[in-house]
Structure 1
């Protein structure tokens, strides 16, 4: 029998990490990237666990980065709903700006697919409907997420939650530059350097749903980054393995022309009707396969234990206590999460021998940020 899942990978704080941001003592690191870090913290008022994001932890925050972070705070506040993380506080003007949201103790779709396999049938439809509801909620408020992907969809048993508004934009907020999320899940118009719209989120949703049921991005595997960019720009898809039950939805979402894609509300209506005809189940555990619920329950259990443990708060004026990884058994190396095909594609180096199509696309992205793994609030 294998080892039980342990929940989120929470790293100890390091010497250059703060012990507190705003009114939130910090417990450990949830994620780190080139644009900043996300910490696990605790509210001093009610003990609630929080995810606290701060940009550029090792450098002085530039005026441009501060404006970008302030815009993210505004969008995150506007995006609050049943399917997103609630904002608990923020200060974009602090020496080290921060944004605190409720901590959702749940794995991402990326981790679930990597460790527990793909979904099929009613389970896939149930997750799909929750993801569509999250996007529809944003679009009704005039917000385009711009980075819908498996890493940014968390799955507690209450249903999917969409996180990371670092590159989102609302209709009345000015963008400073084009920013692409993970290339394999971005839309053709974003890959071509054109403005993104609500239809761009729908394309990214289609790529995410394909990953959910097939286990890879909807493009040939093993490509260099610039080559992949050209495939995305032309919606040059490889849909081998797409099961019949989700094929109509995924194919419509992955239409090359934005006007040919359905809206989130149209998808929501069709999926609600379809699921209403399915047998009624008492709880989400009935929809999901056991390997998925084991991982989801491990995250929830870890969240409850951290919330109930007063030692997880700061233990002194210098350093809060930090949860440690359990040591591996003697003679056995520490386990590493399985790498997905998408992650292997994303980290491939760019060869000087780019294709003609790559050279045609690349100049349009001068000054744009194209990241293989966009930094988000926290990754499951």
Structure 2
């Protein structure tokens, strides 16, 4: 546990008897010691080169004194600070356990609840450190100790002391440094959040997010490259990505990250401190445990659900059938105008929260999410339903996304006339670009929008079944035209499978394909066709580290697919007509699908077994678009219909929030909920190409 003392090392410091050495780093030597009362403590003695100047010693005492005010939960409490001769030292609580760095290198990366506990405990510690007015400056795996009662963060505030002594070297560990610190700026709380995210990424994967090779190479990646988070399970991966933003202003605070991890906004009471939870970007609600069973063997039904052909569970609707007009005729009408409107809803939600996600901002910060009003305007001045902006496209506004374009966070919309627009919306809408594909196949083909590798992307759906994927910034194809479909593609959604972005698309013939936008080829096992009716919508996500897709179609059903194996999971049969729209979220700890269609109802059902949980009624025409989010701490779902309204429902109680929002262009084809600076907002696209934005009020109570 400790090494024997060597010649020249102290045997006593103040009231403490030195027992042995615990370790040594760039800051100093750590000893195990005993107080005269018998209590064991850890003492860090700063290196002599830092202790020889009176000014440095005085600064040391002032700075470390602040560390004694940090709340003790999840940190190694600072008990005393003193100077013995010319040797300043810090006395702290002794944590009997190895460091996170040593543990991961010896036993491998963490997963499941163990990873959750590390993320939650260290975020709690960092929030407490910041609340005391301290910047850690050297947050890394070796400064996280794994005690018998949970992880503890150590050495907070010590790097500040070393910095003030002007030693001529870097303060901190470059592998875990934020870009602004490498660039010469002072470390700040946002810099700690960056280091925390790299540390949690190390815990999940066994490697730092920007590599561990040569110092110049690591620094270059931190400044210029995207983090390597391959192997980090969603939704934690989305949160870490947000925390690793290059700009400090785009990162959440430690308190905000903690609230997201704890699922702030869940309808039930906040869980006790120390209870691990995983963040679900679309709702902020944590699952109670692994939502799905262990991955099935190859070729077996996914997620422990009945095999194909086995009756699925589901509650039959209690109201009557839709109007007597031809169901197939209405289906064709929908897909010609906007069947793909629901294609990117789930990815839109995740993207939107990456741009915002401020739940409890401790201090006002400039808005970095262009396309969302600045927090400079009071949230209280924008009550539920206040219209904020309107932008118009050519053709029906069939899809919406919030993404990154030329380094800015933007609203991106695609139309059925081969046009996409990028704009930021503030007090007045400000269009940034109009994107049109000139030349090539079908220049007026419908465009859906979404993301590929964190960048705004366009997906052109050709009449012959081909799909062309492009980044919005260049408009040039990412790869060859995908030609796996033989019929018109109606819906497309991005997904993350084995660390890379793939596209999941469904067509008029009922086929679903998973493919690589950069090669134009199928990627991995393909879902098997379960019918010949058109696939109108797809939502994708990752639960417990495994990617899935949910498809809805004209055969009145919804299907869950395991994207790693292509296996069919649950089938939902609760609708009494075509199903057009789908989204996913978590409800009471269980993953749920939310679907809507020609029976005018929004239905919520369990993704694991296909059983209906609840349903919402109110629309007087088909439900064509869905999105999940959060308003005033409540998990909500927004539904857009052909009746020209958007309704926002409390997912738990089933109550409608306020009056229906009215689309200026009639039928609603796309909708998204997002958050920024503590405010929730909604945008919807309609049949006349209008993109209208409304405030939904504060995201948290």
Normalising to structure 2: TM-score of the pair? 0.36
Which residue of the partner structure matches residue 37 of structure 1?
Answer: 29
1:278 corresponds to which of 283, 288, 306: 288
Q: For residues 315-363 of structure 1, what are the alpha-carbon distances to aligned partners after superposition, in whole Å with 9 as ceiling and x for unaligned?
A: xxxxxxxxxxxxxxxxxxxxxxxxxxxxxxxxxxxxxxxxxxxxxxxxx
Between Structure 1 and Structure 2, the one with more helix by share is 1
1:183-332 mapped onto 2 (5 Å cutoff): 183-222=174-213, 224-273=214-263, 274=277, 277-279=287-289
Contact 1:91–1:98 (8 Å) recurs in 2: yes
C-alpha distance 136-59 of structure 1, shift in aligned 2 (>3 A): closer
- Looking at structure 1, the residues matched to 128 and 35 of structure 2 have their Cα atoms a distance apart, in angstroms, of 27
- Looking at structure 2, the residues matched to 265 and 208 of structure 1 have their Cα atoms a distance apart, in angstroms, of 17
Contact 1:80–1:87 (8 Å) recurs in 2: no
Contact 1:235–1:256 (8 Å) recurs in 2: no
C-alpha distance 144-35 of structure 1, shift in aligned 2 (>3 A): closer
Which residue of the partner structure matches residue 283 of structure 1?
Answer: none
Q: 1:77: Cα distance to partner?
A: 1.5
SS at 2:229 equivalent: coil
Q: 1:249: Cα distance to partner?
A: 1.3
1:117-196 mapped onto 2 (5 Å cutoff): 117-165=108-156, 167-169=158-160, 175=164, 177=166, 179-196=170-187
Contact 2:22–2:30 (8 Å) recurs in 1: yes
Q: Does 1:26 align with 2:18?
A: yes
For the aligned residues, what is the CA RMSD?
Answer: 2.7
The alignment of Structure 1 onto Structure 2 pairs a total of residues equal to 268
Detail structure 1 runs of 4+ shifted over 6 Å in the superposition.
none
SS at 1:249 equivalent: helix
Contact 1:106–1:154 (8 Å) recurs in 2: yes
- Looking at structure 1, the residues matched to 20 and 49 of structure 2 have their Cα atoms a distance apart, in angstroms, of 16
Q: For residues 273-314 of structure 1, what are the alpha-carbon distances to aligned partners after superposition, in whole Å with 9 as ceiling and x for unaligned?
A: 24564159xxxxxxxxxxxxxxxxxxxxxxxxxxxxxxxxxx
C-alpha distance 11-58 of structure 1, shift in aligned 2 (>3 A): farther
C-alpha distance 169-62 of structure 1, shift in aligned 2 (>3 A): closer
Q: Does 1:114 align with 2:114?
A: no
Q: For residues 81-116 of structure 1, what are the alpha-carbon distances to aligned partners after superposition, in whole Å with 9 as ceiling and x for unaligned?
A: 212222332213634322211211122111111111
- Looking at structure 2, the residues matched to 168 and 57 of structure 1 have their Cα atoms a distance apart, in angstroms, of 15
- Looking at structure 1, the residues matched to 124 and 142 of structure 2 have their Cα atoms a distance apart, in angstroms, of 17
2:88 corresponds to which of 97, 121, 125: 97
SS at 1:160 equivalent: strand
Contact 1:235–1:254 (8 Å) recurs in 2: no
Contact 2:56–2:164 (8 Å) recurs in 1: no
C-alpha distance 51-267 of structure 1, shift in aligned 2 (>3 A): same
Between Structure 1 and Structure 2, the one with more strand by share is 2
Q: 1:235: Cα distance to partner?
A: 4.8
Give 1 or 2 for the bigger CA radius of gyration.
Answer: 2
C-alpha distance 157-13 of structure 1, shift in aligned 2 (>3 A): closer
List runs of 5+ in structure 1 lacking aligned partners: 1-7, 281-380
C-alpha distance 112-268 of structure 1, shift in aligned 2 (>3 A): same
C-alpha distance 105-149 of structure 1, shift in aligned 2 (>3 A): same
Contact 2:159–2:172 (8 Å) recurs in 1: no
Q: For residues 105-139 of structure 1, what are the alpha-carbon distances to aligned partners after superposition, in whole Å with 9 as ceiling and x for unaligned?
A: 12211111111111122321222111111111111
Contact 1:127–1:160 (8 Å) recurs in 2: yes
- Looking at structure 1, the residues matched to 235 and 229 of structure 2 have their Cα atoms a distance apart, in angstroms, of 14
Q: 1:26: Cα distance to partner?
A: 0.7
Contact 1:121–1:245 (8 Å) recurs in 2: no
Q: 1:176: Cα distance to partner?
A: 5.0
- Looking at structure 2, the residues matched to 135 and 59 of structure 1 have their Cα atoms a distance apart, in angstroms, of 26
Contact 1:134–1:160 (8 Å) recurs in 2: no
Q: 1:271: Cα distance to partner?
A: 1.5
Which residue of the partner structure matches residue 13 of structure 1?
Answer: 5
Q: 1:61: Cα distance to partner?
A: 2.3
- Looking at structure 1, the residues matched to 26 and 109 of structure 2 have their Cα atoms a distance apart, in angstroms, of 30
Q: For residues 232-280 of structure 1, what are the alpha-carbon distances to aligned partners after superposition, in whole Å with 9 as ceiling and x for unaligned?
A: 2335433333333421111111111111111112121121124564159
- Looking at structure 1, the residues matched to 224 and 85 of structure 2 have their Cα atoms a distance apart, in angstroms, of 43
Q: 1:65: Cα distance to partner?
A: 4.0
- Looking at structure 2, the residues matched to 190 and 257 of structure 1 have their Cα atoms a distance apart, in angstroms, of 11
SS at 1:240 equivalent: coil
Q: 1:71: Cα distance to partner?
A: 4.0
- Looking at structure 1, the residues matched to 260 and 182 of structure 2 have their Cα atoms a distance apart, in angstroms, of 29
- Looking at structure 2, the residues matched to 260 and 163 of structure 1 have their Cα atoms a distance apart, in angstroms, of 26
- Looking at structure 2, the residues matched to 34 and 133 of structure 1 have their Cα atoms a distance apart, in angstroms, of 26
